[in-house]
Chains A and B, each alone.
Chain A
Amino acid sequence: MTDTPLIQCDLCVIGSGMAGMSAALFAAKQGLSTSMVGRTGEIIFSTGLLDLMAVHPVEKGEIWDDPWACIDQLAKDLPQHPYARIPTAAIRAAFDALIAFLESMRLPYTGHPDRNSLVLTSVGTFKPTYRVPVTMWAGSEVFRRKAPCLLVDIQGLKGFSALQIAAMVGSGWPGLRTVRIGFPGVASSGEVFPERLARSLEAAVNREKLAAAIQPRLQGAEAVGLPAILGISNPAKVMADFQRRLGVTVFEIPTMPPGVTGQRLKEAFEHGLRNLGARLFLENRVFRADADPKGGFRLHAGRTDPEEVIAARSVILATGRFMGGGLKADRHVVREPLFNLPVHQPEGRDRWHREDFLDRRGHAVNRAGLETDPIFRPLDASGRPAHRRLFAAGSILAHQDWMRMKCGSGLAIATANAAVEGAARELS
């Protein structure tokens, strides 16, 4: 280990989900020398929809049209929620900056000004969300107008049934029809995967073939809805071209994860971060983190074993929850495995989960996590920041339930930005 290379940086972000990616982005933009270490991350499971805030209080399942008003109310009712610690203007600025970045990476988003939208899901439910990939946008409007519409699904693409969606939303919508088609150029039998279809549609010739297969089935439809397969690196362009060939409005519906929607975000972030000069250690993890007596940290990172040491003046912990590896549970207790930080949690496993999976109030363990000071430094057992330059962002934070509140992306982005600001201040 004596030859272990040493990488130096101002800030190392641990974790490459939405929070880690956002933190690395904001840090690199600030001019901090930035590294990011992370495994594939939950971002691969993303539907591409960017939630800000929609459901509060969760026990009533109350869905808010205005996410900002919802955040204000949340901050009053749950002052420990991470949003309550960030000025609304800062949340907005961070979210807008992130959207602008994605647009610059050819992943444009849209939505109603200051309002949530309802987006159709692959089981025919509607999901309230804030910002929607432009490729999915037309769906809500088509539904609202009950315009003549053809829902297309692809033979061999599992878990996506146009018939199911139509059965769920079709009442009072006589113009809604469905069709299943074999994807041109793909063997007519066997399983097909969204990523392969999406890569195929990046070639104009394949778009032409798909359009030709759908065309005769249009029969007066003004819009075509299909699974999210319209390209990966430039879906808006793929959609625009496909729309032109088909001559009607087109919209995507997210597929069962992992689909291409997560892949799009992952690739956009990775390219963008590299352009900004961030050092990315993808498919890596941090095995050990030591506080450096001279200040900062020494992080032992690698793929399957420690291979490198990153000397970071500051760290943002964005390792997520159980899936991301940021939290780990045994039969008795939830731990934060890397820095062994105290984890706020319900007492005893019997209190972790409710007796009904879909209980609106949500499961207590989902609000477990790290408690922080006002600038998102995790606290030690004595209630003081564990380290002057250790910050935390995203779903690892306590006192939130992103799955029930529909605030996952906004929480990741806003806390990432706040943590970066904190780190920048402590470094200067």
Chain B
Amino acid sequence: METQVLIIGGGITGVGLARDLALRGVESVLVERRDINAGASGANHGLLHSGARYVRSDPAAAVECREESALLKRLAPHCIEDTGGLFVAVEGDDETYAAEFPAFCERSGIACHPISLGEARELEPVLSDRLMAAYQVEDASVDPFHLSLDNISEALELGSRVMLHTRVVGFNRENGRIRRTRLVNDETGEEMVIEAEQVVNAAGAWAKGVAALAGVEVDLFYSKGSLLITDQRLTRRVINRLRPASDADILVPGGTVSILGTTSIRMDTLDRIVPTVEESDYIINAAAAMVPSLETTRYIRAYAGVRPLVAGKIPGDDRSVSRGFALLDHATDGVFNFVSIIGGKLTTYRLMAEKTADLICNRLGVSRPCLTAVKALKAFPANQWTAAGLSPRLWMQAHRPDDLLLCECEMVPASAVDAVIGGIRHQGGTPSLYAIGRRSRIGKGTCQGAFCGLRINAYLYDQGKLEGRRGLDDLRSFLSARWRGMRPILWDTALLQEELQEALHCGYLGLELGEIR
């Protein structure tokens, strides 16, 4: 296979780059080892930063966030809920830091309005009654799956290609260029070769490994962040703790839930990135100072992601290291058609893609300008199902009793599953429970996949999407993936639910046993 640009990595940066290039008329192939947003792009708060978080530690990043979030609110409104945000300090927090906050915001041109403590609690009644300071900012929440899926769908529509479950296994270099990239599809075992004029490493936390295959060293380190999802939405706005960046200082609403995070733990490897019991307790204990009901609310699951951070900056807390991005031109390493785009934030993905595409286009001799800052992101119906509350609303409106609800917790009907499967096919993926779950609300409700997993498994057989004994493996791997997020929050009602699941999956179905015949 030949192409102008090979993009390695299907996170938000990679898919954003595919769209940017496609809009400039440059053809690309995006390869992704697992699935869209399988790494940090799918394991973050879903926060669209106003920039206020960085006014003190990284003013340049703050300005980028301000500009990019304003752009995205205009150009991708269907992926964003413009919630607004609050920064609040509680008794015991650094008073000077809180008092200086507005001046720092002003320096970066970031809107920040002081409000009275009474007003703050009126706006968000769950806030602690021990507030010390409160400011309103322009934070928002963004659905990272919807955003990435629409980026890749638009790129596909414009002629780009994408290959999921496809891993780079090696590069063949000739005369200081990557001539061929060797890949393997982990689902089919199929091997293939891509010849690209330019190769972009957008593999996120895995960028170091990809670069190493080309004989190039990229100095990255990994900071794990764990987050918790509550079973109900606790606030209308994003709530930030007004203090130097620290653990458990943000609560982001997203649809019908809230997301609480995070931790920052240095990791040496990417082998086992899972949220732990210890982290979840730590987050809850720390965040309760800001929102006391976090002590007693029900949590639905936890998850963890890895921040790939570019080394060589400021030592100390990983959060004090620049969240800015690095575009590494490996010409300096003697590979003249290879770049790595690393680090950055969800909020600034578009800018990262633009800078990368500028460099690539310059090398390709393409002079067409970037269009992503002026052209709205196209909304694709197949990608809309990650939004909580959408499928119940459409299902009620359609009033088709034969459209069975396969997921009862989140009310996802068969028609929505069909649409999601269509999207997966379009993206070159396989309609597994895992892939369907990432593109819809399946498995995200209180049963956490215990019942809907079985119903959809059966449905996929009925639709001819599963054959032989593959469904059982699919079910097992789906349950294992859900489990990693459940384990840290299994107490009270969640533990009761888990017991029901285990009674069903082990007690009755014997999924823990090998094949019995």
Contacts and interface: CB of A to CB of B under 8 A. Distances in A.
Contacts, number: 163
Nearest to B285: A331
B507 A403 contact: yes
Nearest to B459: A161
Interface string A190-231: 110000000000000000000000000000000000000000
A359 B511 CA distance: 10
B461 A190 contact: no
Interface residues of A, number: 61
A61 interface: yes
A189 B496 contact: no
A125 B503 contact: no
B495 interface: yes
A163 B462 contact: yes
A404 B459 contact: no
Closest 6 CB pairs of A and B: A189-B402, A190-B401, A357-B483, A161-B458, A164-B461, A403-B507
The interface centre, meaning the residue of B284, B451, B469 with most chain A CB atoms within 10 A of its CB, is B469
B516 A118 contact: yes
Interface in B491-517: 491-492, 495-496, 498-500, 502-514, 516-517
A255 B210 CA distance: 47
A156 interface: yes
A156 B502 contact: no
Interface stretch (A236-244, A298-306, A322-330): A322-330
Contact of A161 (B277, B462, B495, B496): B462
Contacts of A61: 512-514
B157 to A, nearest CB: 34
A127 B461 CA distance: 21
Contacts of A257: 504, 508
22 contacts: A42-B503, A45-B500, A61-B514, A63-B516, A122-B509, A123-B472, A125-B509, A156-B402, A158-B404, A158-B458, A161-B458, A164-B457, A167-B461, A256-B451, A321-B499, A323-B496, A323-B499, A323-B503, A330-B491, A358-B480, A358-B506, A359-B512
Given A322-B495, A323-B496, A358 B490 contact: no
A254 B507 CA distance: 13
B246 interface: no
B513 A168 contact: no
B502 A158 contact: no
B333 interface: no
B275 to A, nearest CB: 11
Given A168-B472, A189-B401, A158 B462 contact: no
A350 B472 contact: no
Interface in B444-470: 451, 454-455, 457-459, 461-462, 466-469
A129 B511 CA distance: 15
Interface in A19-75: 42, 45, 47, 55, 61, 63
Given A359-B512, A360-B512, A408-B507, A352 B461 contact: no
The interface size bin for chain B is 35 or more
A184 B331 CA distance: 72
Nearest to B496: A322
B404 A156 contact: yes
Task: Indicate the member of B457, B483, B514 with the most A CB atoms within 10 Å.
Answer: B483
Nearest to B501: A357
Contact of B472 (A125, A328, A349, A357): A125
Interface of B: 274, 276-278, 281, 284, 400-402, 404-406, 451, 454-455, 457-459, 461-462, 466-469, 471-472, 475-476, 479-480, 482-484, 486-487, 490-492, 495-496, 498-500, 502-514, 516-517
Nearest to B481: A357
A112 B500 CA distance: 29
Q: Which of B276, B476, B479, B509 has the most CB of A within 10 A?
A: B509
A394 interface: no
A167 B281 CA distance: 44
Contact of A123 (B451, B484, B509): B509
B458 A160 contact: yes
Contact of B455 (A127, A158, A330): A158
Contacts of A164: 457-458, 461-462, 466, 471
Interface string A385-415: 0000000000000000011101010000000
Most chain B CB neighbours (cut-off 10 Å) among A63, A159, A402: A159
A422 interface: no
Most buried by A among B468, B480, B503, B510: B510
A403 to B, nearest CB: 4
B contacts with A: majority SS: helix
A122 B504 CA distance: 11
Contacts of A402: 507
Nearest to A49: B508
A238 B504 CA distance: 27
Contacts of B475: 123
Contacts of A350: 276-278
Contacts of B472: 123-125, 168
Contact of B508 (A124, A254, A365): A254
Given A360-B512, A403-B502, 8 more contacts: A127-B510, A190-B401, A257-B504, A323-B500, A330-B492, A331-B491, A353-B487, A358-B506
Nearest to B507: A403
B495 A355 contact: no
A191 B492 CA distance: 32
Nearest to B284: A331
A366 interface: yes
Nearest to B515: A125
A358 B516 contact: no
A321 B277 CA distance: 22
B483 A352 contact: no
Contacts of A171: 468
A403 B516 contact: no
A189 B467 CA distance: 26
Contacts of B500: 45, 323
A329 B274 CA distance: 23
B294 to A, nearest CB: 12
A362 B513 CA distance: 11
B401 A357 contact: no
B502 A366 contact: yes
Contact of A329 (B404, B451, B491): B491
Nearest to B502: A403
Contact of A55 (B284, B513, B517): B513
B478 to A, nearest CB: 10
Contact of A349 (B406, B483, B491): B491
A187 B401 CA distance: 10
Contact of B507 (A156, A331, A365, A406): A406
B460 to A, nearest CB: 8
Contact of A353 (B405, B490, B504): B490
Which of B404, B492, B496, B499: most chain A CB closer than 10 A? B499
A362 B484 CA distance: 15
Contacts of A156: 402, 404
Contacts of A408: 507
A125 B510 contact: yes
